[in-house]
Amino acid sequence: MTGSVVRLGVLAIAVAGGAGIARAQTLPSQPLALADGRVTIGGDVSATVGSADPGFFDYTDYEHSALRMVRMNLAAAVKAGDHLTVLGDVQTENIDSIRPYALYLRVRPWTRRAVDVQIGRVPPTFGAFARRSYAIDNPLIGYPLAYQYLTTVRPDALPATADELLQKRSGGWLVRYSTGRLTPDHGVPLVSAFRWDTGVQVHAEFQPGGVIRTTASVTSGTVSNPRVRDDNGGKQVAGRLEWRPNAAIIVGTSAARGAFVADSAARSANAESSAGDLTQTAWGADVEYSRDYYLVRAETIVSEWRVPLLSLPGHPLALRASSLSVEGRYKVWPGAYVAARAEHLGFGSIVGTAATLPWDAPVTRFEVGTGYSIQRNLLLKFAYQHNARDGGRLQRSANQVATQAVFWF
């Protein structure tokens, strides 16, 4: 399958280059509008060809490498008057299956007030990057570590002791524990950039021009493990607050808390009575500044999962992780830019029999790249990425390159 994906990606990039030579005049350049504008259809395709990833640094929770991926999205909006709109988005990665990425009803109670209620599979409430995770909005090719890198935490399988958890460091791409579901599977990132939430969300803007914007939601699962149906009878509550004093600055903060551990895993760990304490709590802050030809963004996220141990009944283990990401983009001439991102993902320490160590292996990533627009909606990117892992069983460093073609309408 991987060879087919690489060949398809190479073909897509070659077609994009040929389109540039021909000035790509036959490609659609904007969303399709039907039924007098009441129906709008848009989409995007990104094809990425990159280095092999034996260290699984870019592995995602859909079990694909972000540097070797063909991703297709088709989105539609159906407007039923001034108050109701149905929005949907389906996607496929590496031509494996078609998944519903978004499907929700947007209700605007008032036409003169910037308030809407969204019901269904809704956009993420938490964080800044989750709202721009499409290849169109990402100046580089890789994803920030907090939104992509798989930790060794699983909601459906648990370590029996701290020593068992420490033995799995760096193995989040495929981890097996002795409690709960015994089948090997991947862990979760701090926040998933590849799956949206399911539930109810309310968004409101205040003051002229939306200087202050707030969003709150009640959804299934957690930010690291969004679900359509809960597996533990709990819900997640999340909120985000943004301040936009002018067109150049955005300052935001987010928070979320929800039941994380599946009921089946809690029962296996004899932790049913404390299942309500087995949560994921996350907090984030972000800032964006743009002026003239450059754009700078920074985001930090702290997450804590509380998981039970058979060796310590009634005393959940708190697993904390924190990330910091700083990125910038500079337009060197019309249609071309350079970009860079530096980031670190760290983990809190726990006490084992032989040593006190971070419960997963810390990771540092540095990525630089460039992009060139063949036309307004046809973009070519090239990126170099360096990853370094402090400990664990897998490869501890990797230098990787990737090329990506992105088309949207």
Mean pLDDT of all residues in 82-95: 94
- Identify the pLDDT of residue 22: 44
Mean pLDDT of all residues in 151-169: 97
**Beta-bridge mates of residue 366:** 342, 386
Q: Which residue has the higher pLDDT, 315 or 380?
A: 380
Mean pLDDT of all residues in 115-123: 97
> Does residue 12 sit in helix, strand or coil?
helix
Summarize the chain as % helix, strand, coil (round to 5): 10, 50, 35
Question: CA-based Rg of the chain, rounded to a whole angstrom?
Answer: 22
Output the CA–CA distances (angstroms, integers) from residue 184 to 27, 85, 154, in the order listed. 44, 41, 10
Tell me how long the chain is.
Answer: 409
- Identify the pLDDT of residue 134: 83
All domains of the chain, ordered by start, with CATH? 2-28+44-67+101-408 (2.40.160)
CA dist., res. 71 & res. 107, Å (int): 30
Give yes or no for residue 11 having a pLDDT over 70: no
CA dist., res. 202 & res. 217, Å (int): 6
CA dist., res. 17 & res. 268, Å (int): 55
Give yes or no for residue 139 having a pLDDT over 60: yes
The first and second tokens of residue 375, run together, are 């036309």
**Beta-bridge mates of residue 327:** 297, 341
Give yes or no for residue 205 having a pLDDT over 50: yes
Mean pLDDT of all residues in 230-241: 94
Q: Taking a C-beta distance cutoff of 8 angstroms, is the pair 385, 149 a contact? A: no
Split at pLDDT 50, 70, 90, the class of 20 is: very low
- Identify the pLDDT of residue 274: 62
Structural element, H or E, at residue 6: helix 2-21
Give yes or no for residue 77 having a pLDDT over 50: yes
Give yes or no for residue 173 having a pLDDT over 50: yes
In tens, the pLDDT along 265-310 reads 999 998 875 657 899 999 999 999 999 999 999 999 999 999 999 8
Q: Taking a C-beta distance cutoff of 8 angstroms, is the pair 108, 118 a contact? A: no
Q: What percent of the chain has pLDDT over 90?
A: 81
CA dist., res. 104 & res. 124, Å (int): 12
Q: What is the mean pLDDT of the chain?
A: 91
> Does residue 268 sit in helix, strand or coil?
helix
